[in-house]
Amino acid sequence: MTGMVFHQVEEYLKGRRRAFDFPYILPGTEFQRKVWRALCAIPYGETRTYGQIAAAVGNPRACRAVGMANHQNPILIAVPCHRVIGANGKLVGYGSGLDMKEALLQLEKRVVQGDAMS
């Protein structure tokens, strides 16, 4: 299975994969798992705010709790917490650093724009 995960992440980083289908189990609280499911529902190349994710999981005032759930996300790229941004549109909080978050968002933007041009 490690080979499958590596292959899919490699495809994603080369702009050839938008979603992951390797099997995984996310241990966490019920709230964390709700947040992580909401993250997986964010379309490739798009972003949502912490407030939008909080509303999506049924607790619109839980922005900070959404941030903490993102922080606890055990599989960063497959559960795309990099697609969550601040209410002001700025990049905030990412376990691998804001430079990595920006790079992942730019990768997805380039792929989407390339598809639109095709």
CA distances to 36, 54, 63, 77, 87 from 114, rounded to whole Å, are: 28, 31, 33, 21, 27
Q: Note whether residue 84 is domain-resident.
A: yes
Of the CA atoms within 13 Å of residue 13, those in its CB half-sphere come to 10
For residue 116, pLDDT over 70 is answered with no
Q: Note whether residue 12 is domain-resident.
A: no
Outline where DSSP puts E strands in 9-112. Answer: 48-49, 84-85
Q: Note whether residue 17 is domain-resident.
A: no
Q: Note whether residue 72 is domain-resident.
A: yes
Torsion of CA 38, 41, 45, 48, to 10 degrees: -30
The single residue of 81, 84, 85, 111 carrying the catalytic annotation is 81
Q: Note whether residue 13 is domain-resident.
A: no
Q: What is the pLDDT of residue 43?
A: 97
- Kindly report, residue by residue over 39-55, the tens digit of the pLDDT: 999 999 999 999 999 99
Q: Note whether residue 80 is domain-resident.
A: yes
The two tokens of residue 69 are 């759930």
Total number of domains in the chain: 1
Q: Note whether residue 111 is domain-resident.
A: yes
Which domain covers residue 83, as residue numbers?
A: 27-117
- Kindly report, residue by residue over 8-37, the tens digit of the pLDDT: 999 999 999 999 999 999 999 999 999 999
Active site residue 81: yes
Q: Note whether residue 20 is domain-resident.
A: no
pTM: 0.90
For the domain that residue 66 is a member of, what is the CATH number?
1.10.10.10
Which residues, in sequence order, are CB contacts of 91 under 8 Å at separation 6+? Answer: 85, 98, 101, 102, 105
